[in-house]
């Protein structure tokens, strides 16, 4: 009996693809969704300190933040004195900055999303969560790797054509256990060049969830530069109605 080589090859690769898909009992999108929900909750309030480290100087920014899902967030700067009182608001697709020192409310345009927030290695997009890592990307598990003490899924995220995001590709390493901890991330531009990485450390139980309390963001090819975020306190699933996230509230929040 004559065997058609093309048919054999098709069946062989189909079998391999099936085995690859079958080895994971959860989809990449579900892993990303659970990891995102773990750090965000339905709502949250957080106290943080951010250290911006450069080769010749270092500065710290303290803040409080409130979040409701992916559509609403507000951040109030508590220190240093020259920045205290500034408030940043995201309400669905609108982004605002209240500057009490000059009494102005400034709308943040989409063109500024890739700029560093408060001079840090976080972008405005990172802090204000304009883009959704769940809905704006196609996700794929590309392997499993050991990162620090964690067994992790390595997930590749490619932006959808219609998505208004600043990254050309993202890799995330998320723990395989039930905690779904984001241990490491890498962010690439449209030319597939690594722009920055972030790493999670100092895991602690906060409000019943195991989360990293220190996150380091390190830009690629910029020796001596990094931003370190310290999570001091966080509460999940608190009472935060949509009406809380308003321009009127920005001027009153403390």
Query: Which residues are CB-neighbours of 253 under 8 A, at least 6 positions away?
Result: 74, 76, 87
Q: 52, 103, 48, 104: which is closest to 78 by C-alpha?
A: 48
What's the average model confidence in pLDDT over 76-101?
Answer: 93
Query: Which residues are CB-neighbours of 41 under 8 A, at least 6 positions away?
Result: 67, 236, 237
**107 burial level (CB within 10 Å; 0-12, 13-18, 19+):** exposed
For position 92, what pLDDT does the model report? 83
Look-up: residue for tokens 């054509």? 161
For position 17, what pLDDT does the model report? 42
pLDDT for 169-219, tens place per residue? 999 999 999 899 999 999 999 999 999 999 999 999 999 999 999 999 999
What is the torsional sign of CA 52, 43, 129, 187?
A: positive
Q: How confident is the model at residue 6 (pLDDT cuts 50, 70, 90)?
A: low
Query: How many other C-beta atoms are found inside a 10 Å radius of the C-beta of residue 32?
Result: 24
Radius of gyration of the chain (CA): 21
Count of domains in the chain?
A: 1
Q: Record the tokens describing residue 33, joined without a space.
A: 């969704």
Is the model more confident about 163 or about 237? 237
For position 247, what pLDDT does the model report? 95
**How many angstroms separate the CA atoms of 252 and 219, rounded?**
35
Contact 236, 253 (CB under 8 A): no
Q: Give me the CATH number covering residue 166.
A: 2.50.20.10
Task: Indicate whether 3 pLDDT > 70.
Answer: no
Q: How confident is the model at residue 156 (pLDDT cuts 50, 70, 90)?
A: very high
- What range does the domain containing 208 cover? 5-250
What pTM does this model have?
0.85
**Residue 213 Cα distances to 17, 121, 209, angstroms:** 38, 18, 11
Q: Record the tokens describing residue 154, joined without a space.
A: 């390595």
């Amino acid at each position: 009996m004559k065997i058609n080589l093309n048919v054999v090859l098709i069946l062989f690769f189909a079998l391999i693809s099936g085995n690859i898909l079958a080895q994971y009992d959860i989809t990449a999108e579900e892993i990303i969704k659970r990891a995102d929900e773990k750090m965000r909750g339905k709502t949250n309030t957080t106290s943080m300190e951010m250290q911006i480290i450069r080769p010749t100087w270092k500065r710290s920014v303290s803040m409080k933040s409130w979040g409701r899902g992916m559509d609403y967030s507000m951040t109030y700067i508590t220190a240093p004195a020259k920045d205290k009182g500034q408030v940043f608001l995201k309400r669905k697709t609108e982004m605002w900055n209240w500057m009490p020192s000059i009494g102005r409310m400034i709308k943040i345009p989409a063109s500024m999303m890739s700029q560093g927030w408060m001079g840090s290695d976080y972008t405005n997009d990172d802090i204000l969560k304009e883009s959704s890592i769940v809905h704006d990307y196609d996700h794929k598990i590309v392997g499993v790797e050991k990162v620090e003490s964690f067994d992790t899924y390595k997930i590749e995220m490619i932006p959808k054509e219609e998505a208004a995001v600043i990254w050309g590709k993202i890799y995330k390493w998320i723990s395989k256990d039930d905690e779904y901890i984001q241990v490491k991330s890498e962010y690439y531009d449209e030319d597939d060049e690594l722009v920055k990485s972030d790493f999670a450390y100092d895991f602690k139980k906060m409000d019943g969830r195991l989360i990293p309390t220190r996150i380091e963001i390190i830009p690629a090819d910029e020796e001596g530069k990094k931003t370190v975020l310290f999570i001091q306190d966080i509460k999940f699933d608190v009472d935060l109605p949509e009406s809380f996230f308003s321009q009127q509230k920005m001027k009153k929040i403390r």
